[in-house]
Structure 1
């Protein structure tokens, strides 16, 4: 069980897939050609059989440091030895907005000082290690061929440099050594679906690719309107969300990984490489607040396609998650041949929660559309027709029992958060209809909205706990309800809310970190426990700031920043030991960081009503849901 710790990774990507690079210079997670494709390198889930692409010093002791090239998604891993200093520069050139099977990972080796001898190990394991492959070494590189995918490794070198023909092949793995003196640059460019055999690539060509890639990220980041106190953390979070966007459709994955454990050694291991309607809606709203309008427009098109495809289904107008291309084949299976990250099994591919009913997604969708509307992303006629159908369905179905935001597998319940977000859906729909004079059954929507409000206040509130509770048949607290003041359901300083916040302080908060709920008190159909949920900790910051507890909010926020990894990335949860656990990096966590920073900035600047902040964009009316 020697898998590298979850937090000891940086991420690179090309907006269609992504790779994780360890602080030891190993790519130990990469799926190709998409986020949700089978893995090629999977050592993060099985160090012995998962496959990797590693570059590191050989024969000497060394220490490492890792950083992002400023304002970019290019990653630099530096190695320090007694004989010299070297580095590996990893990046993925952008692929564009058209879906393609051709993806490149560029790995540049450079000796900065002294001399360095690097060992290189390339060990692809296709289709989660289930599919065999052939390996062929040529004078200019290596070709790995399986039944349905070919990887070509081109050598990066000058004409007079030594060739790669001396590479050793064993069991489909290629090992070789590269010796460098100060100033020398070598490397490799891994390419899927390459045209032709491996070729020699000169360093100047790679440097141009690097400059183009860095320029793209710098130009994209320059559009950010954020000028608050935590610029570095906010901008890294924004780039992380962008890296998890599938450019051809606009879908945003919840994380680029699967089956990283929420409890080491436990069974809470899920596949997150899909687009959750909830997570993507939250992500788009966070990006909109920073001024990134294009991402919201593209996601609107993706969402509109989903609504029109599934309108009228028994489970409602929307599924809770989809593949990045919008399809919904998410059957869950278990990989029995891998050991799992630090022995955590089962390893799941697909997601059995895809068929669940989770009513809160409609509120998240409508809230993001409402924020987009205020930023100038107006909804055209056909888009409004789709939205109206969704809201008519919500008006007639909001009182069903459901599985809830946390995708519990212990049976359906009348979850308070689901009711709350149905209220949001109808409220935002009413506001959109009245603002733009759109046709709608507003009387019905208002009636149902008010029914939800009254029911939540009557049945979601527990006089015994003096707090809003997880669902109507329990006294358990649930930190999803930290969003109640943010969405405007309750005043942030209402005595009922302040009492709820106090109860959460006592039961769900531990040294500023926040649990989702207590699974021992509210069985969720799964064994074991979990860590604190980082989304909820940042939501707690937001709620504290709105409640006027600004000093406390800032302390919690600053503490939470210390749990980021060395390059500012977060997984889903924090274990009792302080280590990061769960899939990584997690969109939920990074979007919540952005929300918390913006709200806290406003509160510290004296704004008593941060919920009234408009997205700082200057958009013009464009199609949100296309024809």
Structure 2
């Protein structure tokens, strides 16, 4: 491996803006004006140490630094980094994106607030605010005022600061003798006293997040771990539309020099379903409601019935994939891809995930807008599509680019769409529609049981009539297609462990794909195994594996998409919603009940 790169990063955000901060308090990744935009701070893909970069980073460096510590304010995404120099001087950097209610509506600007204050001694610092444009190809154009700097990046950004502007412009070393505030946000005048307003923003942001966390129904055990995962999942929401991105980054390789470098800054309906499922188990109804609005708009925009696997956060259907060469990539391991060709794929499981995401809305009395008969009628077109395609080949949930098959997981998700439509119709008192969808679901079940079961191997296969093993078969229980004690599932689980388990982790599949043999484990699949082991009665083993997964997290308490088979080192885009959803689901399932403390 060559070049700089480290996924031990801490995200901040407010459901509009987000950034990844390294252990020394440098912004190494942030895109504007949206999470899928041009990275204003792109050090993560530069292949160089942030301290050496001439663009694409925002670092508040302590001269002669020898150590750093970092943590979040409890139950918030407000990040505090403490740096110490060789003489014992100490500074504290605080980072957050403003998030609270103002004028009876959410205030969540594309803005970052940083403060730096001396805690001990006579520290000397250098502020290097070096935004880039065009994927790191050029420095952002700069104009200045008496106490602000304007940067010509997409959407234009303005820094308002209490520090001397020339110190920032020239990256000059100066003694930090008082707290300084930096507000990097929309290109408009900053109203009020910067110090006072920044303090008000921090206090209100802290209050917002702590109130949000207070409403979560967390499990008794692993509460801090679940809360951190839930906050981060919420940071992956583009609240303006309700979209949920799969990750904040693009092109972090799934394995070293593998070429498996993808752009995950879009809304996969599959990933969003699992995110909503996990947060629903904690009672976070706000994210469900926003995402259902996003789904309704997607359905309305596709009268033909075909739903793509993913869309842009603004519901854009075309996400043309291209490579950019201005940056060398994570640890120098290109290519860097923007867009994702998977928007062209047929992935039939999405029809099930749309209905499964919506099903709770027919039952949940807490929602501002419970689902009704009109919503059900609109969903029937999704069910019709699921019924029409469940025996047709697709690219599958792992998004194979050069081959198609009738994937068992896709077929089961299509069955789930019809099964849950029958349940919803019954709930609404629509007896004739309940009979219609129940009949279709039963027909589909019989076909899947016949075509996906491999009698010679004595287990289910990943494809109709095939032999392949795939970790997605673990979802036969979660979808309620099979019970955990069904002999067909226990046989499939036994075979899956033999073929895909590698010690304490699980592969998606072990066969060659478009890029060769898999080299890393897929974190979400390991969480699926933990759930299956627990439901199969192997509870102690499930808890042991869960603790081992927690030990693989970054210092921010988060996970990427994949991990090294031997070292557990993180690979793949970060933070990964799939992985964090798996963490929450397992914690809820494995935890002792609250009644045990009475």
Normalising by the residue count of structure 2, what TM-score does the alignment of the two structures yield? Answer: 0.92
Partner Cα separation in structure 2 for residue 120 and residue 210 of structure 1: 21
Q: State the secondary structure of the residue aligned to 2:591.
A: helix
Q: State the secondary structure of the residue aligned to 2:477.
A: coil
Q: Is contact 1:266-1:528 (8 Å) kept?
A: no
Residues 1:116 and 2:123 aligned together: yes
Q: Which residue of 2 aligns with 1:429?
A: 421
Query: RMSD value over aligned CA atoms?
Result: 2.4
Task: Give 1:164 shift.
Answer: 2.9
For residues 108-149 of structure 1, the C-alpha deviation after alignment (integer angstroms, 9 at most, x for no partner) is 112222221112111111131245532234442322225x54
Q: Which residue of 2 aligns with 1:73?
A: 77
Structure 1 residues 24 and 329, CA gap change in structure 2 (3 angstroms): same
Q: Which residue of 2 aligns with 1:254?
A: 246
Residues 1:298 and 2:305 aligned together: no
Residues 1:151 and 2:144 aligned together: no
Q: Is contact 1:395-1:444 (8 Å) kept?
A: no
Q: State the secondary structure of the residue aligned to 1:189.
A: strand
Aligned length: 583
Residues 1:104 and 2:97 aligned together: no
Structure 1 residues 374 and 594, CA gap change in structure 2 (3 angstroms): farther
Q: Is contact 1:10-1:22 (8 Å) kept?
A: yes
Of 174, 180, 185, the match for 2:179? 185
Partner Cα separation in structure 1 for residue 500 and residue 517 of structure 2: 17
Q: Is contact 1:3-1:43 (8 Å) kept?
A: no
Q: Which residue of 1 aligns with 2:260?
A: 268
Q: State the secondary structure of the residue aligned to 2:234.
A: helix
Listed as ranges, the gaps of 5+ residues in structure 2 are none
Partner Cα separation in structure 1 for residue 293 and residue 595 of structure 2: 36
Q: Is contact 1:67-1:77 (8 Å) kept?
A: yes
Q: Which residue of 2 aligns with 1:195?
A: 188
Partner Cα separation in structure 2 for residue 98 and residue 471 of structure 1: 49
Q: Which residue of 2 aligns with 1:555?
A: 544
Residues 1:583 and 2:573 aligned together: yes
Partner Cα separation in structure 2 for residue 77 and residue 132 of structure 1: 27
Structure 1 residues 106 and 113, CA gap change in structure 2 (3 angstroms): same
Residues 1:134 and 2:134 aligned together: no
Q: Which residue of 1 aligns with 2:589?
A: 599
For residues 3-41 of structure 1, the C-alpha deviation after alignment (integer angstroms, 9 at most, x for no partner) is 3311x2100012112100000221011111111111111
Residues 1:452 and 2:448 aligned together: no
Q: Is contact 2:372-2:428 (8 Å) kept?
A: no
Partner Cα separation in structure 2 for residue 393 and residue 166 of structure 1: 61
Listed as ranges, the gaps of 5+ residues in structure 1 are 158-162, 170-174, 607-627
Q: Is contact 2:425-2:433 (8 Å) kept?
A: no
Q: Which residue of 2 aligns with 1:621?
A: none
Of 87, 94, 97, the match for 1:92? 97
Task: Give 1:202 shift.
Answer: 4.0
Structure 1 residues 602 and 279, CA gap change in structure 2 (3 angstroms): farther
Partner Cα separation in structure 1 for residue 55 and residue 400 of structure 2: 29
Structure 1 residues 187 and 265, CA gap change in structure 2 (3 angstroms): farther
Task: Give 1:355 shift.
Answer: 1.3
Q: Which residue of 1 aligns with 2:359?
A: 370
Q: Is contact 1:263-1:530 (8 Å) kept?
A: yes
Equivalences for 1:18-37 in 2 at 5 Å? 18-37=18-37
Normalising by the residue count of structure 1, what TM-score does the alignment of the two structures yield? Answer: 0.88
Task: Give 1:312 shift.
Answer: 1.6
Equivalences for 1:272-291 in 2 at 5 Å? 272-291=264-283
Equivalences for 1:160-559 in 2 at 5 Å? 163-167=164-168, 169=170, 175-181=171-177, 184-191=178-185, 193-196=186-189, 202-313=194-305, 316=306, 318-376=307-365, 377=367, 378-438=370-430, 441-518=433-510, 521=511, 523-527=512-516, 529-559=518-548
The answer to which of 458-467 and 295-304 deviates more is 458-467
Partner Cα separation in structure 1 for residue 413 and residue 272 of structure 2: 15
Partner Cα separation in structure 1 for residue 253 and residue 206 of structure 2: 33
Q: Is contact 2:387-2:415 (8 Å) kept?
A: no
Structure 1 residues 440 and 335, CA gap change in structure 2 (3 angstroms): farther
Structure 1 residues 166 and 73, CA gap change in structure 2 (3 angstroms): closer
Partner Cα separation in structure 1 for residue 432 and residue 290 of structure 2: 25
